[in-house]
Amino acid sequence: MKFDTKVVRAGITPDPTTGSILPPIYETATYVLEEVGKDKGFDYTRSSNPTRQVLEANLAAIENAEYAISFASGMSAVDATFKLLSSGDHVICGDDVYGGVTRHLDNVLNRYGLSTTYVNSVDADAVSSAIKPATKMIWIETPTNPLLRITDLEAMVSIAKEHDILLAVDSTFATPVFLRPLEFGVDIVMHSTTKYLSGHNQIIGGVLATNRKDIFDEMKYIQKTIGAVSSPFDCWLNLSGLKTLHLRMKRHEESAMRIAGFLESHQKVAWVLFPGLPSHPQHDIAKAQMSGFSGMIAFELKDGAEAGRRLMNALNLCGLAESLGSVETMITHPATMTHADVPDEDRRKRGLTDGLVRLSVGIEDADDIIEDLEQGLAQA
């Protein structure tokens, strides 16, 4: 079955009772047993649910994974991944990742004996140099949030395997349409399904995918124990959004390419980062590793942070919002929004300047978004 067909059909069969072409929403907490010790595959929705099971089968298929687990949020999926580790273990984490991940590592998990070293994951030598005897996991994003760096997955897998370290990749920005990290030998792939995988700003969710049964069994046990499960209704909405994933992503990418080109040529823009531009530092890696460049852009204005604020406040179509990956175009100020909890000194050291602007390109007509940016830039 080809990818575009998997997106629409994998894991989904007509309901055997009614013939419904869509899976029912099993909005139930518990299930009646046939007799003591004998159930019909389900006993309690915190453990499993038929609607969630369909979603997980679909997500596993499009990620080319043996197993997928649907979580209540992207961060609960992140948390479950780190709970594979023990007190005293060490994590190497990319230094350009979602601010919620660094907040969790630095302010919560550190209380339980987990230590973290942040490195630029593009630099394979820096990653190797950060390895300690206690290092048990490497956590990276590609493309990263918000600087859109591209990590060479073959190099990272080689390092992880050489040192018997788990490699986990947040592939939210790429989606399985453009990148499937498990095919490179990665151990765990994570997505915030809130973003592109649902695509309509309707749900909060996350997913973990793996080809290793030992990892799947442990993560499933962790999820059941802490209760970080997605609701049946959210699963159903996620399934509905997934059906157009391949179509949406191509439109996101096409529009982002045009908009990135417009921004790069604008006299008020200092620089633009978009993996599809030849000027992107890892453009060649992105071309070799991905089948497309997704819909995220980062840029900064020549007049700095205040000009960026004026731009964002002047826009009409581009909503100033925290999230990304939706059909609507959204613009974000990472320093005060997604990465507000990262200490200023650390943030600036990692290249997350006060003037950095992140743009999540939607599926509107690109001309309208360019026109909105043009009038906003005129006021910046």
Domain architecture of the chain: domains with CATH: 3-240 (3.40.640.10), 245-379 (3.90.1150.10)
Q: How many CB atoms lie within 10 A of CB 26?
A: 18
**So what's the pLDDT on residue 339?**
79
195 belongs to the catalytic site: yes
- Residue 319 pairs in a beta bridge with 330
Q: Which of 89, 170, 187, 372 is catalytic?
A: 170
67 belongs to the catalytic site: no
26 belongs to the catalytic site: no
Using an 8 Å Cβ cutoff, are 178 and 133 in contact?
no
How large is the C-alpha radius of gyration of the chain? Answer: 21
Report residue 166: phi and psi, to 5°: -70, 140
221 belongs to the catalytic site: no
End-to-end Cα, the chain, rounded Å: 49
Hey, is 127 helix, strand or coil? helix
Q: Exposed, middle or buried, 185 (CB in 10 Å: 0-12/13-18/19+)?
A: middle
Burial of 284-313, coded b for 16+ CB within 10 Å and e otherwise, reads ebbbebbebbbbbbbbbbeeebebbbebbe
Hey, is 315 helix, strand or coil? coil
Q: Which of 67, 98, 118, 196 is catalytic?
A: 98
Token pair 């000194």: residue:
345
pTM of the model: 0.96
Token pair 């089968």: residue:
57
Alpha helices in the chain, H assignment, sequence order: 3-9, 50-62, 74-82, 99-107, 124-129, 153-162, 175-178, 213-226, 232-242, 245-264, 283-289, 304-314, 344-349, 366-378
Q: How many CB atoms lie within 10 A of CB 44?
A: 13
The single-letter code of the amino acid at 277 is L
Q: Which of 195, 248, 347, 358 is catalytic?
A: 195
Q: CA 266 to CA 270: how far, in whole Å? A: 9
Report residue 10: phi and psi, to 5°: -60, 130
Nearest partner of 185 among 208, 159, 150, 216, judged by Cα = 159
Q: Which of 46, 212, 224, 243 is catalytic?
A: 46
* pLDDT tens per residue across all 380 residues of the chain: 999 999 999 999 999 899 999 999 999 999 999 899 899 999 999 999 999 999 999 999 999 999 999 999 999 999 999 999 999 999 999 999 999 999 999 999 999 999 999 999 999 999 999 999 999 999 999 999 999 999 999 999 999 999 999 999 999 999 999 999 999 999 999 999 999 999 999 999 999 999 999 999 999 999 999 999 999 999 999 999 999 999 999 999 999 999 999 999 999 999 999 999 999 999 999 999 999 999 999 999 999 889 999 999 999 999 999 999 999 999 999 888 877 777 777 777 778 888 899 999 999 999 999 999 999 999 99
* Token pair listed for 17: 């009772």
Task: Return the sign of the alpha-carbon dihedral for residues 311, 308, 352, 371.
Answer: positive
